[in-house]
Amino acid sequence: MLVAALVAGGVGGGIGYWAAGRNDTGSTTVSASGDPEALNRKPTSVSGIAQRALPSVVTIEAQGASGDGGTGTGFVYDKQGHILTNNHVVASAADGGRLTATFSNGKKYDAEVIGHAQGYDVAVIKLKNASGATLNPLPLGKSANVQVGDATIAIGAPFGLSGTVTTGIISAKDRPVASSDGGGSSASYMSALQTDASINPGNSGGPLLDAGGNVIGINSAIQSAGNGGGMGGESGQSGSIGLGFAIPIDQAKRVADDLIRTGQPVYPQIGVQVGMRESGDGATIAQTGNNGSEPVTPGGPADKAGLKPGDTITKLDDTVIDSGPTLISEIWQHRPGDRVTLTYKRSGKEHTTQVTLGQRTGDK
């Protein structure tokens, strides 16, 4: 029926043009001048930014050894052929699968996963035969300087439609988000940039740009009415309702550099197990640990700072902590070795303590 409608539309257009050609002298329409300068496509316009950025954005196709996979987006990170994207875009091809990256000019290259961080939802892939590729890395901005209301431009391949450009604003900052690809894997956590630029399945891994054309985030997750209000990057086929979330580029760059250097992600941690479902009053340290482990790691950062099972963490520095995911996303914005102030409640009384963040290497 769609084909028939398109054909009918084409035929109708042809008849209309023929009829108009039969009576040109009676036309009252006014033609545009056709002057490209009149369109005012300045380099700083959305069109100008898109034209510069699109050649550096790739559509990624991942196929696992068992045949599962999907389509996502990535962008040129450096001149060595590294492409920055989401973990959930390439995870299926990380172990023995096939990975390709297609540029806007149609050239397709085989690629390999250099490193992926499931917790951060960040991955770096590299073109296998980059000698023939034109590699112009996108300029990286400073997500720490972003303000609510700033203009945004998102580029990606929603539902496989490569080179799609949408615009919006920064709707909120430091939005705690726990996302999943819907495949049953553990969640990823981010203190995200929220944008109303239209982001759909397939946009994941693509750049979120500011008004200067600088990358301020990696598009990673959406919340849509079709998925019950849950977060997800590629989960299902639900579409955008203007609630998109991007990993801040300041964090993504640190993770990417670790992956390129060592192939492994590095996570800062305080060494506690907290409840992940309760929200509103803080992040409460569990009374008993998982699988017989201690809820406060003996000798870990939290243990050294005097934290105990049952304590409820309510602030990290000046940021209010309302849940376990918020605590994790805030900790992961820091580096191992950073010193932070934790505010917590014990037996109804409020306390503060200094914690030097430890580290964990790898996802397992």
Pick from 319, 170, 337: nearest CA to 328: 319
Active site residue 78: no
Q: To the nearest 5 percent, what fractions of the chain are helix, strand and coil?
A: 25, 35, 40
Q: Which of 143, 162, 198, 204 is catalytic?
A: 204
In this structure, which amino acid lies at residue 260?
I
Tell me the C-alpha to C-alpha distance, in Å, between residue 84 and each of 56, 68, 253, 320: 11, 21, 9, 31
C-alpha to C-alpha distance for 84 and 343, rounded to whole angstroms: 36
Tell me the C-alpha to C-alpha distance, in Å, between residue 117 and each of 54, 252, 253, 337, 363: 26, 10, 12, 20, 7
Active site residue 179: no
List CB contacts of 101: < 8 A, sequence separation 6 or more.
Answer: 58, 59, 60, 74, 83, 108, 109, 111, 125, 127
Q: List the beta bridge partners of residue 71.
A: 61
Active site residue 88: yes
Instruction: Check if the beta carbon of residue 332 is closer than 8 Å to that of residue 119.
Output: yes
Q: Which of 88, 181, 258, 329 is catalytic?
A: 88
Q: How many residues does the chain have?
A: 364
Q: Which of 116, 121, 162, 220 is catalytic?
A: 121
What is the enclosing helix (H) or strand (E) of 352?
strand 349-356
Q: Which two tokens stand for residue 196?
A: 């109303």
Q: Which residues are catalytic?
A: 88, 121, 204
